Amino acid sequence: MLSKNLFISSYCHVKNNTISFNGNVLFSDDSQDFSGFVKSAAKHLNTSYPKLYKMDNLSKLASLAADAILSEQKAQSDTALVFSNRASSLDTDRKHQASISDTNNYYPSPSIFVYTLPNICLGEISIKHQLHSENCFFVFDKFNPEHLHGNTEYLLHHKKAETVLCGWVDFDDKNYEAFLYLVSENGNIAHTVDEISRRYRSKL
């Protein structure tokens, strides 16, 4: 099979109350917590999507980062999703555990429970951007560009997708970080492990 050259056409970071797109700051504020940051960012970016506020923190984080990329380029329905993180859905798992730890006050919340898997954030992005595509979520000790690169190359070279949105979305307690990038046959940044690592390290 003759492999086509693939490129990183755009990328986004969300960390430390800042959203950046292709290295340029889109939004930044001094909110005291993640919830306040999400509200301010959604307002600033004109994200009219009430369901955003019903999501858990991991899905909010993933949605903010995905919106920055997919809204800019008008997502193709055949955009696959390859995400990864370290904490899985631990932030929400803890909330669910807290709701069921007291047997005398046992009221698990359905809207919390449904987010006790990390890949739910992929579904949220797919629903919002009307993606009908392959998706997978990996859990690693740390950012793993080799694995993301290999998966993305496979999907595109085997025509499982037209484009792939991939990267890292991690939320644990008060620490959060998202780095997503879009890979396709178009762009200026070569899709290599070195370039993925370089863009990831350039986080704000």
Which residues bind to another protein, rule: CB under 8 A? Answer: 39, 50, 53-54, 107-111, 114
Is the CB of 47 or the CB of 76 nearer to another protein? 47
Is the CB of 60 or the CB of 199 nearer to another protein? 60
Is residue 184 within 8 A of residue 163, CB to CB? The reply is yes
- The CB-of-123 to another protein minimum distance in angstroms stands at 13
Is the CB of 54 or the CB of 157 nearer to another protein? 54
- The CB-of-135 to another protein minimum distance in angstroms stands at 21
- The CB-of-30 to another protein minimum distance in angstroms stands at 20
- The CB-of-175 to another protein minimum distance in angstroms stands at 22
Other C-beta atoms closer than 10 Å to the C-beta of 165 total 31
Chain centre distance of CA 41 = 15
Enclosing H/E stretch for 98: helix 90-100
Q: What sign has the CA pseudo-torsion 98, 104, 105, 108? A: positive
CA distance 57 to 64: 11
Is the CB of 24 or the CB of 111 nearer to another protein? 111
Count the helices and strands in the chain (H runs, E runs).
Answer: 7, 8
Is the CB of 24 or the CB of 101 nearer to another protein? 101
Residues facing 8 on adjacent strands: 183, 189
CA distance 134 to 116: 21
- The CB-of-32 to another protein minimum distance in angstroms stands at 17
- The CB-of-173 to another protein minimum distance in angstroms stands at 20
135-139 vs 79-85, strand pairing mode: parallel
CA contacts within 13 A on the Cβ side of 115: 23
Is the CB of 38 or the CB of 166 nearer to another protein? 38
